[in-house]
Amino acid sequence: MPISRRTFIKASAAAGGAIGLGVLPNVGLANAAASIERARKPLSILILGGTGFTGPEQVEYAIARGHSVTLINRNRTRPDFFKGRVEQLIGDFNGDMSALKGRKFDVVLDNPTTLPAWVKNAGQYLKGNVGHYVFISTISVYPDNSHPGADETDGLTPMPEGIDPYNVPPADARKYYGALKTFSEGEVARTYPSFTIIRPGLIVGPLDVTDRFTYWPYRIDKGGEVLAPGTPSDPVQFIDSRDLAEWTVRMAENKKTGTYNATGPAKKMGMGEMLDGIKKAIGSNATFTWVPADFLAEQKISGWRHMTVWLAPIGRTAGFSQRSIAKALAAGLTFRPLAVTARDTLAWNKTRSPEALTALANGAVGGISLEREAEVLAAWKAKQANPGERHS
């Protein structure tokens, strides 16, 4: 049975339903149109999706640059949000995409696709009618994250033998995420002569309901003693969704082809620099207590899930937060200051629904609750006082 787009998102992100999408404050979108330089040549741009995360920033920036924008989606997430400013087509990536029949576009920006069937479904109408196709993939296509500095030539995740990439059971969608994205990249390459593959790392900022970065501005804003994972020098990588969105539009304007890792910042950043930067940006009185990775593991506190953004830079994750982005930097990828991302994310977070804020406080999606944090800190201090004892 083919997997539906809704089922896949629920299975792979754990960020729908009760978490809520919140509202779209001005702080979460691109800069004011008056401050954005117009493109040399206006383009007709089709955006697949466009109303979730990263998509709205793409739309705002593309309009400000002078492009005409068409969206195709089910018009259920923030329905008609851009009414009167863009052309809205109704389509289901896993169903009827016939609204694209007979249409031609200079550029297609494909944001939501994970399943190869989605590329194929749109491609039956778009093949031969698109000047350039930009596919947003992921660094999760790389199965080996043990080598710092690996670039776009690193090996990719193949589909396991016996698995039909066009017919993956919903329960297995998350399990095969990297392989499905890899196969989708290949589907794009087979369908469109001119294409760009962009592989983002952790995308953060306003509108991100996964709490994978949001947890830190939220927690640091509360002040007091904050549990910090590993060591201050442990590397981190992430990219503000607005930086990714705006760069993607510029790449489309310049018809830059090829494959690019897209994460940041431009220079190596440690976990300590990130936390201190957030603290300074939001004016918090928080203090950080650094707890080693092995003790966190004993306490069943996981990197990425509980200590968001961070993974211990050892063994199989030694290179996860040290992917090379030299190619993207050479192609014009730029970054706004961490302070801007931190302040804007915190401001947006305060606009979210009570249900979303409760989930964040409980660590339901990313991060941990204040109660659990206090337990781990107490256990760590007890171990320091009595190093021979085991604490759980």
Q: Give residue limits of the domains in the chain.
A: 5-384
94-101 contacts at long range (C-beta below 8 A, 24 or more positions apart): 94/2, 94/3, 94/4, 94/5, 94/118, 94/121, 95/121, 97/72, 97/121, 97/122, 97/124, 97/125, 98/125, 99/72, 100/46, 100/72, 100/125, 100/126, 101/125
Bridge partners of 253, per DSSP, are none
SS3 of residue 147 by DSSP: coil
Question: Measuring CA to CA, which residue among 380, 238, 374 is closest to residue 308?
Answer: 238
DSSP annotation of 385: H
Each residue's pLDDT tens digit, 155-189: 999 999 999 999 987 677 789 999 999 999 999 99
CB 282 within 8 A of CB 349: no
Q: What is the pLDDT of residue 30?
A: 44
Confidence (pLDDT) at 391: 55
pLDDT for res 4: 41
Nearest to 115 by CA among 63, 172, 180: 180
- CATH for 5-384, options being 3.40.50.720, 3.30.470.20, 3.40.50.2300, 3.40.50.1110: 3.40.50.720
CA–CA dist 54, 206 (Å, integer) = 9
Helices (H), the chain: 5-13, 55-64, 116-126, 177-191, 215-222, 241-254, 271-282, 293-298, 326-330, 338-349, 354-361, 370-385
Q: Say what the pTM is.
A: 0.91
pLDDT mean values, one per 10 residues, the chain (392 residues): 40 35 45 75 97 93 97 91 94 95 98 93 97 97 98 97 88 88 97 98 95 97 98 98 98 97 97 98 98 98 98 97 98 98 98 97 96 98 83 54
Amino acid at 171: A
Tell me, what's the pLDDT at 80?
87
Residue pair 251/342 in contact (Cβ under 8 Å)? The answer is no
pLDDT confidence of residue 23 = 45
Helix (H) or strand (E) holding 90: strand 87-90
Helices vs strands, H then E, count in the chain? 12, 13
Q: Check if the beta carbon of residue 125 is closer than 8 Å to that of residue 98.
A: yes
Element (DSSP H or E) covering residue 70: strand 68-73
> In the structure encoding, which two tokens stand for residue 70, read together?
């068409």
pLDDT digits (tens, 9 = 90+) for 70-81: 999 999 888 888
| Cβ neighbours around 88 below 10 Å, total | 20
Q: What is the pLDDT of residue 389?
A: 66
State residue 128's pLDDT score: 97
Two tokens, residue 58: 């793409």
Which letter, b or e, does each residue of 11-23 get, where b requires 16 or more Cβ atoms within 10 Å of its Cβ? bbebbeeebbbbe
Instruction: Compute CA distances 215 → 108, 165, 219, whole Å.
Output: 33, 34, 6
